[in-house]
């Protein structure tokens, strides 16, 4: 049974709708999940099905769709961030072979395909929205969602230590690092552990803000922030490192966020670890998901080169 057939049955059983979905098409972005746009009785929706169980996951990507319904709900309730309403989430595998969800389709197009306006206008709004997002806090730290990929930690230093080591386990598991290379990264963190051991709020972090996950209309208004499945609770500085990696943390972003960036030596040292946390994941992704071993090796070499500054 193809996805379009799953979709018709899901609309009938889960939405209680007898109409057949129309205008079904695949989006140009979002290749990790299997996604479809469709219309039903004049309204537009998104269907997303999780990848196969053997797709090749980082530790925090396993069953990560499970945390999206509660995240969307809390963000819609507590912020003005344009986030879609999720109508259906089902991980029973009774109709489809993998977990899936249906949500309302937001207006606009990914920023990577929308170029009629200045980028600064959009980044300023993204800064304003992330400021709101980061005001949502929790008592525990780490990946706290329903996917249950780690035990919630009582402090950020404990959470990041778990995350750092789990990522290194993934890299060794796919052959990206030898055990000795990974142990070197573990020792570096152990040496610098104290710089993470400080009072820090457990803020809700998106952790995947890049041009394809920002929707905007033709006037440059942000109409959606999408793909919340990698969300994390912790230190806002790690979000900023991801924004650096993705080319989002320009001056306009900081104008919108309303904060002067801290560039003190200790923050810069933490930044290296946070940036490496983002960078090193691509060793696993390129090895397991795209089988591009040359690219995986390039990410490995880049990470090792950057880590020299931590010795």
CATH code of the domain in which 256 resides: 3.90.1200.10
| Domain of 215, in residue numbers | 110-310
Per-residue pLDDT, 157: 98
User: Six-digit token pair at 21?
Assistant: 């979905």
Give phi and psi for 109, each to the nearest 5: -135, 155
59 assigned to some structural domain: no
Per-residue pLDDT, 19: 83
Instruction: Count how many domains the chain has.
Output: 1
215 assigned to some structural domain: yes
User: Six-digit token pair at 106?
Assistant: 């937001």
Q: Going along 126-184, which residue ranges are E strands?
A: 137-138
196 assigned to some structural domain: yes
Per-residue pLDDT, 117: 63
Distance, in Å, from the CA atom of 86 to the CA atom of 68, rounded to the nearest integer, reads 8
Per-residue pLDDT, 1: 45
34 assigned to some structural domain: no
230 assigned to some structural domain: yes
* pTM assigned to the model: 0.94
Q: Contact, 246 vs 282, CB < 8 A?
A: no
For the chain, which residues score pLDDT lower than 50? 1
154 contacts: CB under 8 Å, gap ≥ 6: 140, 141
Distance, in Å, from the CA atom of 109 to the CA atom of 190, rounded to the nearest integer, reads 43
DSSP one-letter string for 22-63: EEEE--SS--SSEEEEEEETTEEEEEEEPPPTTS---GGGTT
Residue 270: name the closest of 300, 233, 246, 234 by CA.
Answer: 234
- The pLDDT tens digits of the residues spanning 126-145 come to 999 999 999 999 999 999 99
- The pLDDT tens digits of the residues spanning 2-11 come to 567 789 899 9
């Amino acid at each position: 049974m193809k996805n379009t057939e799953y979709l018709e049955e899901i609309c009938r059983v889960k939405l209680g709708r007898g109409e057949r979905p129309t205008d079904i098409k695949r989006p140009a972005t979002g290749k990790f999940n299997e996604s479809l746009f469709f219309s039903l009785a004049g309204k537009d929706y998104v269907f997303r099905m999780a990848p196969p169980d053997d797709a090749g996951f980082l530790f925090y990507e396993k069953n990560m769709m499970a945390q999206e319904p509660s995240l969307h709900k809390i963000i819609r309730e507590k912020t003005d961030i344009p986030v879609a309403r999720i109508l259906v989430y089902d991980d029973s595998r009774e109709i489809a072979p993998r977990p899936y969800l249906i949500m309302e389709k937001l207006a606009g197009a990914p920023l990577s395909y929308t170029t009629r306006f200045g980028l600064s206008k959009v980044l300023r709004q993204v800064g304003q929205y992330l400021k709101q997002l980061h005001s949502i806090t929790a008592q525990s730290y780490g990946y706290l969602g329903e996917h249950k990929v780690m035990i919630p930690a009582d402090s950020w230093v404990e959470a990041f230590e778990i995350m750092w080591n789990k990522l290194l386990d993934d890299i060794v598991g796919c052959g990206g690092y030898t055990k000795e290379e990974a142990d070197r990264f573990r020792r570096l963190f152990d040496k610098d552990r104290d710089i993470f051991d400080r009072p820090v709020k457990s803020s809700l972090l998106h952790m995947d803000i890049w041009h394809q996950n920002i929707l905007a209309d033709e006037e440059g208004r942000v109409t959606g922030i999408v793909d919340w499945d990698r969300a994390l609770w912790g230190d806002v500085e790690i979000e900023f490192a991801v924004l650096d990696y993705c080319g989002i943390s320009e001056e306009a972003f900081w104008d919108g966020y309303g904060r002067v960036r801290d560039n003190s030596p200790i923050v810069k040292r933490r930044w290296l670890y946070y940036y490496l946390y983002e960078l090193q994941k691509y060793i696993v992704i390129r090895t397991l998901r795209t089988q591009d071993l040359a690219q995986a090796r390039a990410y490995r070499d880049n990470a090792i080169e950057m880590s020299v500054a931590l010795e």
